[in-house]
Amino acid sequence: MTSTPTVPSGRVIAPRAMAGLRRVVGLPGAGVTIAFLVLCVALAFASDYFLTVGNLTVVLRQSVWVAIMGIGMTFVIGMGEIDLSVGAILGISGLAAAIWIQSGVNIYLAVVAALLLGAVIGACNGLLVTILHLPSFVATLGAMSVLRGIIMVITGGVPVYGLRYPEFQFIGQGFIGPFPFPVVILAAVFAEFAYVLYRTPFGRHVLSIGSNAHAARLAGISLTAVRVTVFMISGLLCAIAGVILASRSEAATADAGQGMELDVIAATIIGGTVMTGGKAVLYGTVVGAMLMTTIRNGLNLLGVSPLWQQVVIGAFIIISVAGSMLASRRADGDA
C-alpha cells in the first residue's frame, strides 16, 4: 500500500471496511447470527405483530427446549459423536416426573429424580460407546427406540394429565421479574456450560477428542471418562428440557420430544459446530435454535401452511450448512 497517499481517502476505507467485515463474517457462529438478524428485520417489516414483546417472548420460550438440548448436543458433536436419543430422553424424564408427582412423591424430589434419570440414561449411552465400542449413531439410535418403547408400554399411549401444582407449574410457566423462568434456566445452563466448554480442562479435552482422538489418548486424556461424562451431560440437559415441557403443558404425553432430535442436531450444525467434531460454537447453537423457531413463527404470522414450513426449514438447513462449509473451505485457501 505504498501508493496510499495518492488515493482519495474514501477509497482506502472501503477495502479496510471490507476486510473488517470479512473478519467478522469469518468468526465462528457469525453466519447464523447474521441470518437470524436479517430474518428478524425482514419479519419486522413483513408483519406488524412480529416485533411485539408478546411475540418475541413466545419465540424465545419455544426455543428453550431445543436450545437447552442443543447445548448438550454441542458437546456431543464437538467430541465427534452424535446423540439421537435426546428426544426420547426428554420424553421419558418428563413422563417420570409426571408419574412420580401424581403418585404423591414430593415435587422437588420427583424433579431431581427425573433429572438424575436423564443423566443415568445418558451415562448408559456413554458406556455403550466406550465399553462396547458401539458407534454412537447406533448406540443412541437403539436407545431412542428402547426408550420410546418403554414410554408406550408405561402410558399405553394415554397422556398423564393434570399436573396442576403451583410449584411444578412455575418451572415452565413462572416468571422471575420480566423473564419467563424457562428462559432463566436456559441462561443459567448456557452460562454454566459455556464456562465448562471454554474455560475448563474438561472442555478442552472434549474438543481435543473430537479433533483427534488418537492424539488425545497419547496426550494423557482419559477418553472413557470424558465420553461418558459428555453423554451424561446431554442426558441431564434433555431431562431439564423434559421437566420444563411437562410443566408447561401440565401433562406428559407419549409423543413428547418425538422428532426433536433432528431439530436439536440442526440447531447445533447451523450454529457453526463442525459435524466431524473438534470445534464447537455454543452460542451459535442457541441462536440456531431461535432461528428455527423464528422461521416457524414468521411463516405462521405470514399465514404459510405448516406443511410448507417443513420444506422451508429443511431447505434452510441445507443452504446454511453448505454456505458455511464453502466459507471455511475458502478460508483454508481451497486446500
Partner 1 sequence: MPSTPSMPVVEMTGIGKSFGGVPVLRNVDLRLDSGTVVGLLGANGAGKSTLIKILSGVYSADSGTVSVDGQHLGSASVTEAQRLGIRTVHQELSLVPSLRVYENVYLHAELTKGRRTPFAPLDRETMIRESRHVLRDVLGIEVDVRATVEDLPIATRQLVEIARAVHERAKVLVLDEPTTSLEAREKAQLFQVVRDLRNQGVAVIFISHHLDEVTDLCDRTIVLRDGAVVVDAPTAELSARDMVTAMTGRLVDHQYPKKQVELGEPVLAVAGLTREPVYRDVSFVLRRGEILGVVGLAGSGKTELIRGLAGSHPAASGSVTRNGSAVRLGSIRQARRLGLIYLPSDRKVAGIFPEHSVAWNTTISALQRIMGRFGLSPTRELSTVNAAIDEYGMKVSGPDQVISRLSGGNQQKVMLARSLLGNADVLLLEDPTRGIDVAAKNDVYELITSLVEAGKSVVLVSSEETEVLGMCDQILVMREGRVRANLAASDTSLPQIRLIAMSSEGDDE
CB of 279 to partner 1, least distance (A): 6
Question: Of 28 and 91, which CB lies nearer to partner 1 in the complex structure?
Answer: 28
Q: 68 or 197, CB closer to partner 1?
A: 197
How many other C-beta atoms can be found within 10 angstroms of the C-beta atom of residue 27? 12
**Which of these ranges, 52-60, 68-76, 136-144, 193-201, lies near partner 1 under the rule CB under 8 A?**
193-201
Looking at 199, 302, 310, 311, which residue binds partner 1 (CB under 8 A)? 199
**Residues binding partner 1: number (CB under 8 A):** 22
Q: What's the rounded Cα separation, in Å, for the pair 304 and 301?
A: 8
Rounded Cα distance, 198 and 106, in Å:
37
**Residues from 263 through 292 that contact partner 1 (CB under 8 A):** 274, 278-279
Q: According to CB under 8 A, which one of 21, 198, 275, 330 is a site residue for partner 1?
A: 198
Closer residue to partner 1 in complex, CB, 47/222? 222
Q: Specify whether the CB–CB gap between 128 and 135 falls below 8 A.
A: no
Minimum gap (Å) between residue 120 Cβ and partner 1: 26
Alpha-carbon distance of 306 to 21, in angstroms, equals 36
CB of residue 226 to partner 1, shortest distance in Å: 13
Nearer CB in complex with partner 1: 224/310: 224
**Phi and psi, residue 79, nearest 5°:** -85, 0
Query: Residues 202 to 231: which contact partner 1 by CB under 8 A?
Result: 204, 207-208, 211-212, 214-222
Cβ proximity to partner 1: between 94 and 203 the closer is 203
Q: What does the block give as the cell for 118?
A: 436423564
Q: Name the residue nearer to partner 1 (CB basis): 220 or 259.
A: 220
Give buried/exposed letters for 153-183 (b at 16+ CB in 10 A, else e).
Answer: eebeeeebeebeeeebeebbbeeeeeebbbb
Q: How far is the CB of 335 from partner 1 (least distance, A)?
A: 9
Cα dihedral sign, 197-202-206-209 = positive
Do residues 273 and 74 lie in contact, with contact meaning Cβ atoms separated by under 8 Å?
Answer: yes
Give the distance from CA 60 to its chain's centroid: 13
Could you list the residues that contact partner 1 (CB under 8 A)? 195, 198-201, 204, 207-208, 211-212, 214-222, 274, 278-279
